[in-house]
A = this chain, B = another copy of it.
Amino acid sequence: MYSCALSDAALSCLLAEDVPFGDLTTESLGLRGRPGRLEFHARGAMTVCGVEEAVRLFALAGANACLVIPSGVAVESDTLLLTAEGPAEALHWAWKTAQTLMEWASGIASGAAALVRAAAPVPVACTRKNAPGTKALSIKAIQAGGAIAHRLGLSETLLVFAEHRLFLDESPSAAIARLRNRQPEKKIVVEVVSADEALTWARAGVDVLQLEKFTPAGLSACRARLEIDGLQPVLVAAGGVRVENAADYVAAGAAMIATSAPYHAAPRDVRVQFFKAA
C-alpha cells in the first residue's frame, strides 16, 4: 500500500555509496554467480517500515525480492518480512543497505506507533527535526507508525514563535488580524511557554496554542484559565511528551501531541539469513 519513499535514482545512490564497484570479498573469493537466497525476519515485535525500498534495492542490485509484510504493519517477533534470491554478488551487494534501511525505518515507525497508542485517540504529529537528509524516509516511517507530519516546512503553515514576535511592533491582536486577513485558509498557531503568554494570545484570537514544555498539570491549569475567559483554542502539547506521560497530556486537554522523539528511536533488529540455492 505504501509506495517507495525514495526514487530509483535515490536508491541507486545508496547502493553506489556502499558498494560502488562490487563486493570485493565475493569477487576475490570467486563466488560470482553462485545462486543464493535470503530471508529477513523481525528479531522482535515491531511496526515494519522500509520493505518497499528494500525490495527495490535488491532489484536494482540484480536479485529478485519478494515483499511479505508491507510498511505500516505491526508484527510479532520472528515474522518473515522479505525474501530475495539471486547470485551471491547481488545478494551481498544489497544486503546491508536494505537491512540497515529497514532497521532504521522500523525503529522510527515503532517509536511513532508506541506514542500513537499512548496518546490515542489524539493524533501525534512529528516535527521537522528528522536526521538531516532523511526527510522522505523519516516522514514515511512516522506515517507507517500512525503519526502525522506536524509541518512539512516553513512555507505552508503559520506558527508564530517568540523569535518572530521579537521583530513585531504591533499588538498581538493586530498581528493576528493581519495573519487572518492574509491567510484566510490557514489556522494561526502560536507557540507559548507560559499560561500568561497563552492567555495573551488566546485573547488576541489564535486558533491553536502550542504549549512548549508544559507539564500535564500546567496544561490543565492553562486550559482552565482560558476557559474562564470563554477561550477554547486547540491546545497542542509540545516538548517532553513521552509514551509514559502522553495519556496524561491527553487527559489534561491536549488535542494533539507534537514531538520529535520517534526520529531518534533506536533501530529495530532485522535478522538476515542466507541459504545456498540448488
Residues on A lying within 8 angstroms of B by beta carbon are 1, 3, 7-10, 12, 14, 16-34, 36, 38, 61-62, 87-88, 90-93, 95-97, 100-101, 103-105, 121, 123, 125, 128-137, 139-140, 143, 148-164, 166-168, 175, 178-179, 181-187, 189, 207-208, 234, 236, 255-256, 264, 266-267, 272, 274-276
Copies of chain A in the complex:
6
B133:A20 contact, CB within 8 angstroms: no
Pairs A-B, 5 closest by C-beta atoms: A7-B12, A23-B154, A21-B155, A156-B156, A34-B167
A115 to chain B, nearest CB (A): 16
Bound state CA distance, A139 and B274, in angstroms? 28
Chain B residue, CB-CB nearest to A19? B154
A36 contacts across to B, CB distance below 8 A: 166-167
B143 touches A21 (CB 8 A): yes
Partner of A157, one of B7, B153, B185, B207: B185
Q: Does A156 contact B100, Cβ atoms closer than 8 Å?
A: no
Contacts A21-B140, A157-B185, A181-B123 given: A31-B134 contact, CB under 8 Å? no
Residues of B near A183 (CB, < 8 A) are 24, 28, 123, 148
Q: How far is the CB of A9 from chain B (nearest CB, A)?
A: 4
